[in-house]
Amino acid sequence: MEKKRLDWLDCTRGIGIILVVLTHSATTVLRENYKLAKAIYEGSFFIDRQLLMVLSGYVFYLAKSHYKKLNNIEFFKKKVQRILVPYIVYSFIVYLFFQVINEIPFLEAIMEYSVYKKSNIVSWAKGILTGTNNYTLHLWFLYDLFIYVCITYILMKKFKNWEKIIVVSWGILTVLSYLLEWKQNGIIDNLIYFYTWFLMGIVLCPKIKDCKIWMWGIAIGYGYFILYHLFECERMENQILELLYQLTKGAAIIGIIQLGKELRGKILYICKYIGKNSMDIYLFSQPFFGSCIGVVGYQVFHLPVIVILIISITLSFIVPIIILKILTHTKYLKKLFGH
């Protein structure tokens, strides 16, 4: 049972990473000029981050017995090595890369179409501390996740009835996020909003029984999503519509979790493989093979958008796996990137 459960978890995480890669590949310059790129972006961006945050919460739930046995130093050391070190090291590598790129006039002109303009080290450091570093914006997930696991761990260690506190916290934060109108603009808003999804993984995932509701969940979630965009509803203009929008995300996420349990054969194998390597794909695919491929392919080589998307998506999966193979043979580098 344990192996089967972990299989579906890897599979569902793989689906989440596929959605993330699609989101990053359909970069701004592409979706502004090509409806298919915009549709890919909107469809994947709808639940990609929330799905992965729910799964992260569930992983915490599964590991709770192990975490209880660790002392505080052991726990925080493990999480710093697994989450914070890759976050800082990779961000710095990307920062240095784009400082060099922006020293070349031709390439600097291309970077004007992106967020990878030249910046000083102080701005980079501030971005790292606040989770808003432009060079690796996608790593906000690791920044938030580190805060979530630390807060939840402290609650678990300090209170015997920590799970009840989590349930109450989930309810309060959900209501608070609603009152904040789901802004997701500031640091605090973002932390509160995504912590509700992390807590959903702890509260609801263990209670989701094996049943074939995945089609209904996905249909309800994406059905409302399509109607929402078809009628061009302005987000946050109507709080009831916005609340329904968030609730249907939950339905779609539950549906995809169930789908992960239903998949078989080669599709299961592929999704599991991607899921097991999700950290490396997430870390190394962006910005080089996501946003940068889009900007350079469109602005410099004037390639058809569909060709750019295919190249970007393919490289976003292949290159991180190659990097992973190199890391597995280098002990020092493995530690730097959380292995």
Task: Answer yes or no: are the C-beta atoms of 75 and 216 closer than 8 Å.
Answer: no
In whole angstroms, what is the distance from residue 228 CA to residue 124 CA? 37
Contact call for residues 202 and 151 (beta carbons, < 8 A)? no
What is the Cα 330 distance to its own chain's centre?
A: 27
Distance (Å) of CA 256 to CA 83, 251, 279, 295, 300:
25, 9, 19, 31, 38
Q: Hunting for tokens 């009152």 — which residue is that?
A: 179
Q: Which residue reads 């599709």 in tokens?
A: 267
- Measured CA to CA, the distance from residue 285 to residue 331 in angstroms comes to 22
Contacts of 237 (CB under 8 A, 6+ apart): none
Q: Identify the burial level of 56 via C-beta atoms within 10 angstroms of its C-beta, where 0-12 means exposed, 13-18 middle and 19 or more buried.
A: buried
- The answer to whether the predicted template modeling score (pTM) of the entire model surpasses 0.85 is yes
Percentage helix, strand, coil for the chain under 3-state DSSP, each rounded to 5: 80, 0, 20
Asked if 53 and 149 count as a contact pair (C-beta separation under 8 A), the reply is: no
Among the listed residues 127, 107, 119, 246, the one whose alpha carbon sits nearest the alpha carbon of residue 182:
246
Per-residue pLDDT of the chain (339 residues; tens, 9 = 90+): 344 457 889 999 999 999 999 999 998 889 888 888 999 999 999 999 999 999 999 999 999 999 999 999 999 999 999 999 999 999 999 999 888 888 888 777 777 766 788 888 998 998 898 888 888 888 999 999 999 999 999 999 998 888 889 888 888 877 776 666 555 556 777 788 899 899 999 988 877 766 666 667 777 777 877 776 666 655 545 667 777 778 888 888 988 988 888 888 899 999 999 999 999 999 889 888 888 888 888 888 889 999 999 999 999 999 998 888 887 777 666 666 655
